[in-house]
Amino acid sequence: MKRQGTLVRWEKDRGFGFIRSPEVSADVFVHLRDFADRSAAPQVGMKLSFEEIHVGGKGPRAMAVVAAASANAAPRASPRAQPRRPSGRSTAGTPWGAWLIVIYAAGLGAAVWLGRLPLYVPAVVAGLSLLTFVAYALDKSAAQAGRWRTQESTLHLLALVGGWPGAWCAQRLLRHKSSKASFLGRFYATVALHCAALLAWVFWLSKHAAFA
């Protein structure tokens, strides 16, 4: 699939680097031999057009790489129009996520105080969030190094069982899995399912259970 991006890292001595594209959740590996025109040396900051492929379960790789037509043109946009990365990369970094985490944490505290949840639940949720954040960080590192990736289903499962606050923070802080629409759609679904299950327990199922 044809993509547009910027070369953000280039190892001249080793002949490879990484392209960052708002259309791809992880930085895209590129080798010198993948450039269609090798007359110009790749440089960090170059605007590139490339074909995204996936081989052997590894991270995304660029093929048929060419310099974008506007790479050497003077920018016409005003300075204020340039810093659009947060809105262009994902809606996962918008304030609603932070507010939802605050409301979620307050709801957990209230449920524990009312005796609808055991005391250890907030600690379990915090641990799951930390575990999920680490899983995102390791997956991004693997994508950049071209190593074996964590399956998306695993990341979604961690979010579903209670690690979604950590997943949201990872998308925001690490800029990983924050622009792929299909992934984000499933992520939002896991958040909704988890919250719905928690509400069902607090307001209905817990009435039929006793905590020691």
Given this model, what pLDDT does residue 144 score? Answer: 78
Given this model, what pLDDT does residue 133 score? Answer: 95
Given this model, what pLDDT does residue 90 score? Answer: 42
Domains of the chain: 2-67 (2.40.50.140), 91-208 (no CATH)
Pick the closest to residue 183 from 195, 196, 170 (CA basis).
Answer: 170
Tokens for 79, please give them: 């300075």
Mean pLDDT by 10 residues, the chain (212 residues): 84 84 82 77 84 75 75 46 44 66 91 89 94 93 83 94 93 86 92 91 67 44
Given this model, what pLDDT does residue 91 score? Answer: 42
Given this model, what pLDDT does residue 193 score? Answer: 95
Q: Which helix (H) or strand (E) holds 105?
A: helix 95-113
* C-beta neighbour count of 51 within 10 angstroms: 14
Degrees to nearest 5, angle at CA 139 with 104 and 7: 115
Q: Cα(121)–Cα(211) distance, rounded to whole angstroms? A: 12
Q: What is the pLDDT of residues 157-206, one digit of tens each?
A: 999 999 999 999 999 899 888 888 889 899 999 999 999 988 888 887 65
The model carries a pTM of: 0.55
Q: Where are the beta strands (DSSP E) in 103-160?
A: none
Average pLDDT over all residues of the chain: 80
Q: Where are the beta strands (DSSP E) in the chain?
A: 2-11, 16-20, 28-31, 47-54, 60-67
For the range 110-118, what are the long-range contacts, defined as Cβ-Cβ under 8 Å and sequence gap of 24 or more?
111/202, 115/211, 116/201, 116/202, 116/203, 116/206, 117/201, 117/202, 117/206, 117/211, 118/211
